[in-house]
Amino acid sequence: MAAIIDLKLVAYGNTKKNSDGTFTCQHGAGECQSDAMELCAEYKLSGDINSIATGDTSFAAWPFILCMEEADGNPNKGSSCWSSTMNSTGISWSTISDCVDTEYDKVQNAGAAATPKHDYVPWVLVDGSVLENSSLLQKAVCDAYTGTPPASCKGRAVEAAEPTADRCSNN
């Protein structure tokens, strides 16, 4: 399915930029730190801070981001997630760690600028429309695609799942 989608992941969610320029994350400082790790991964994979806004490196960063999310965003897992998923990139963990330490505001500001207004997280858009039930992403992508469907769409009945109850409100 990767061949038919443009993926843009922005690890910012319900983060708020405070009037003093600091950032507050919905689930605390650890979330802010792990979000910065994910944003730094996207940034450092291209060397261009604009990759956060364009999503140009979202696929490349996906293995690391997935590992971090599966670890519930625990920033203490950053190094092990990086070494288990991103060793072939030639970018060291120290590059990501240094980015978090020295370019934190830069990546958080880029994440803020790339995050659309939203009512909950995850905020998933397919062809610019909100996908209310993100567990139906594959079905929505396959339904929206007008070309020859990839094997992951062909002959596969993707049934509706129960709406997810784990949405975080913007409050």
CA distance 24 to 35: 11
Domain membership of residue 138 as a residue range: 121-169
Q: How confident is the model at residue 166 (pLDDT cuts 50, 70, 90)?
A: very low
Q: How many CB atoms lie within 10 A of CB 109?
A: 18
Q: Are residues 7 and 40 in the same domain?
A: yes
Domain tally, the chain: 2
Strand, coil or helix: 23: strand
| Together in a domain, 155 and 72 | no
Write the pLDDT tens digit of every residue in 31-55: 999 999 999 999 999 999 999 999 9
Query: What one-character DSSP code corresponds to residue 119?
Result: S
The pTM score is 0.84
Q: Do residues 146 and 135 touch, judged by C-beta distance below 8 A?
A: no
pLDDT of residue 155: 62
Is residue 26 located within the same domain as residue 84?
A: yes
- pLDDT on residue 122: 83
Residue range 103-161, pLDDT digits in tens: 999 999 999 999 988 888 888 888 888 898 888 989 999 999 988 889 988 764 444 44
Q: Which pair of structure tokens corresponds to residue 39? A: 């944003």
Q: Domain end: 70, 87, 115, which one?
A: 115
Distance CA 57, CA 97 (A): 18
Is 28 a residue whose pLDDT tops 80? yes
Q: How far is CA 113 from CA 32, 68, 117, in A?
A: 16, 22, 10
Same domain, 48 and 98: yes
Pair (87, 131) in one structural domain:
no
